[in-house]
């Protein structure tokens, strides 16, 4: 896969949506229409369960509000795998049976990309015949930054603006901590280039 050509339908796995900064970048990129994002009810349940288990102060009510906000912002994003989609992956040789529903959701959504932190759980010999390309969030976001630098600078700026107390530096650092160091480095270059161009005196 040399480029993300339309339609860039990205199924986001729970381990990606779990991260506030990765989730923000994906959703704001979708808002800018450089990708279309999709998920399933089961993926959202997994995301919520892990947030409740691991994030202090995050409750089931917090999860309900987050899911409602996501589905309201992207009313066509949620995909429930059909019987046909489940049947299409029923015999797929994947390492973890618990991930079969994710693959079924990707097939049901006609996703071209499955964005997950656990790429080893989705072997290429299984996903390629299904027309699904598996990418880490770092690989996907880094590619989007390279392909759409101006748009992705806006995505970054929105991410900073909508998180109380955030700054360019703190958001870039959060990307690195979330397992997206290449994206963090590229966004840092974008921010520095924009800062240099805006501070340069007029001719």
What does the pLDDT read at residue 196? 74
What does the pLDDT read at residue 8? 86
pLDDT band at 194 (very low <50, low <70, confident <90, very high): confident
What does the pLDDT read at residue 197? 66
pLDDT (mean) for 129-157: 96
pLDDT (mean) for 30-43: 96
Predicted confidence (pLDDT) at residue 200 exceeds the cutoff of 60: no
Helix (H, G, I), strand (E, B) or coil at 174: helix
The Cα 139–Cα 173 span in angstroms is 17
Indicate the burial class of 58 (C-beta count within 10 angstroms; 0-12, 13-18, 19 or more).
Answer: middle
The pTM of this model reads: 0.92
pLDDT band at 152 (very low <50, low <70, confident <90, very high): very high
Chain centre distance of CA 124:
19
What does the pLDDT read at residue 170? 97
């Amino acid at each position: 896969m040399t480029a993300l050509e339309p339609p860039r339908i990205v199924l986001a796995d729970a381990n990606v949506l779990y991260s506030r900064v990765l989730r923000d970048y994906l959703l704001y990129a979708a808002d800018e229409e450089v990708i279309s994002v999709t998920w399933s009810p089961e993926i959202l349940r997994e995301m919520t369960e892990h947030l409740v288990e691991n994030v202090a102060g995050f409750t089931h009510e917090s999860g309900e509000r987050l899911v409602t906000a996501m589905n309201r912002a992207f009313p066509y994003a949620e995909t429930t795998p059909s019987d046909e989609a489940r049947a299409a992956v029923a015999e797929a040789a994947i390492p973890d049976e618990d991930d079969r529903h994710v693959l079924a959701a990707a097939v049901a959504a006609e996703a071209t990309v499955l964005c997950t932190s656990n790429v080893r759980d989705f072997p290429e010999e299984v996903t390629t015949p299904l027309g699904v390309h598996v990418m880490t969030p770092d690989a996907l976001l880094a590619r989007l930054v390279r392909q759409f630098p101006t748009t992705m600078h806006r995505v970054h700026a929105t991410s900073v603006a909508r998180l109380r107390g955030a700054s360019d530096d703190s958001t870039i650092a959060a990307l690195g901590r979330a397992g997206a160091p290449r994206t963090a480095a590229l966004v840092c270059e974008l921010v520095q280039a924009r800062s240099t161009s805006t501070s340069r005196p007029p001719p």
